[in-house]
Amino acid sequence: MKRITVLFMALLFVGGLCSAALAADTLAEAKKKGVLVAGVKDSTPGFGYIDEKTREIVGYDVDFCKAIAKKMGVKLELRPVTSATRMPQLIAGNIDIIAATMTITAERAQQIDFSHTYFFTGQKFITNKGAVKKLADLDGKKIGTAKGSTSEQNAKKALPNATILSFDDYPQAFLALQQGKVVAVTTDESILANILAKAPDKEKYEIPADIRISDEPYGLGMRKGDKALVDFVNATILEMEKSGEAKKIFDDWFGPKGKSGIVMERTFKITAGK
Ligand code: GLU
């Protein structure tokens, strides 16, 4: 029995070493396997969602992954993640990179590494039209958001007396608003605007312009200490900024003729150190 335990521990140790070695150089590993596995959202319109015609996952985040895989000379495999599952999936080695509307925070950066900022937005609310004039109108109310998001944490801080109901994704939170189960949905403006644009009853709702509770810079997430990959990704997205490819991806989705159907202003540039 004791020997079996020792053997088991030894196996665990070797297994641990192997996965640590894997984690240490995902770039080399991806090149060897010929595939980069990216964790993306599949129900976040504009960023990662299933195209009704092709049934493929498409969006701004997906296009960044495509550009990175192309530069690497490997195929891209997409795996759906949610706000709550993305970090555990990365740390467990099931995906190589997160491209999923993910905000760079100091708390998250203790567990994973981030690229430079490749998208910038801020947190807002969708409410029933005319119902909410100021942030305080929402305190003490039920508000929907997604599990494992900064939106959840920011809302709890900004509205200490509100009841925050966390769903797996934002379309589910929006459904709760349509059903009258919550009075507002909160997350990044970029996500809310895309969800509202797709809603058949959109005229009933609004995103109050003056109620904004945080800045949300998005970064691509990689395993902690996975330096070669982080450097490669940063060099690639800086190059994409310089060549205009990054702006083109933005315009493809959110420009006047963008595929998302909403128009956003590009208020950021991809720069080193951010
Ligand atoms: N950007 C925020 C976050 O990283 C909200 C959007 C999301 O849940 O992905 O948590």
Q: Rounded to two decimals, what is the model's pTM?
A: 0.91
Q: In residues, how long is the chain?
A: 274
**Does some domain include residue 4?**
no
Predicted local distance difference test score (pLDDT) of residue 274: 74
Cβ–ligand 1 contact at 44 (below 6 Å): no
Residues 36 and 113 in one domain: yes
**127-134: long-range contacts (C-beta < 8 A, 24 or more apart)?**
127/183, 127/184, 127/205, 127/206, 127/207, 127/208, 128/177, 128/183, 128/204, 128/205, 129/203, 129/204, 129/205, 129/206, 130/206, 131/183, 132/183, 132/184, 132/208, 132/211, 133/208, 134/210, 134/211
pLDDT tens track for 212-239: 999 999 999 999 999 999 999 999 999 9
pLDDT tens track for 9-40: 554 455 544 454 445 799 999 999 999 999 99
Cβ–ligand 1 contact at 150 (below 6 Å): yes
Give me the domain span that covers residue 181.
123-216
**Does some domain include residue 19?**
no
**Does some domain include residue 142?**
yes
Residues 45 and 165 in one domain: no
**Does some domain include residue 110?**
yes
Mutating to test ligand 1, I would choose from 40, 103, 104, 107 the residue with most ligand atoms within 8 A of its C-beta, which is: 103
Residues 194 and 245 in one domain: no
**Does some domain include residue 69?**
yes
CB atoms within 10 A of CB 1: 5
Query: Would you say residue 116 has pLDDT above 90?
Result: yes
Q: What is the CATH number of the domain that holds 194?
A: 3.40.190.10
For residue 124, report the distance from its CA to the centre of ligand 1, in Å: 12
Residues 235 and 202 in one domain: no
DSSP character at residue 74: -
Give how many domains the chain has, as a whole number. 2
Q: Give the burial string for 130-153 (b: 16+ CB within 10 Å, else e).
A: eebeeeebbeebbbbbbbbbbbbe
Residues 162 and 49 in one domain: no
Residues 193 and 62 in one domain: no
Residues 32 and 106 in one domain: yes
